[in-house]
Amino acid sequence: METPNWFDKSACKRLHGSLWFPPVDHDNQQLFYDVAVTVCAGCPVWKECLKLGEKEVHGMWGGLTPAERSSYVNKTDKHLARHGSLQRFRQGCSCNECTVAQTKEFEKIINKSLYPSAGKAFTDIENVHNRLFTALNDVK
């Protein structure tokens, strides 16, 4: 697949791809997605990313996990996120609660040094997860 022209504007540029595509043999892929969604939350091209990954069955695209994306694409309630969340907004809900959640998450400033960089060895997702969420709690 050719790199789309909007990728240069993406928040995930230069970050380690494992965050969005966790190793299939890892026992807790949600840790990777928890970290990745914090980057996606402030991404200016999340809509383009979600559109590109609509039919993908692996990885996070546009801030949605495969299960969340399947509810969005198939218009089912099976994996709809709760109202008042970034994920539900990105699944197509434009109620006030979800819009406020999107805006709030989008405006967070996150220190990119907390994330593993592309091209570097990366194995300790638990450490990355803990450092990131400690820092995010300090931002609130």
Q: What is the pLDDT of residue 70?
A: 86
* Residue tagged 């993908």 (tokens): 56
Residues 34-92: tens digit of each pLDDT: 999 999 988 999 999 999 998 899 999 999 999 888 887 777 777 788 888 888 888 88
Domain span including residue 83 = 5-139
Q: What is the pLDDT of residue 10?
A: 93
Q: Which of 9-23, 52-66, 79-93, 115-129 has the lowest mean pLDDT?
A: 115-129
Residues 130-140: tens digit of each pLDDT: 888 787 776 55
Q: How many domains does the chain have?
A: 1
CA dist 6 → 38, 43, 46, 72 (Å): 19, 11, 10, 22
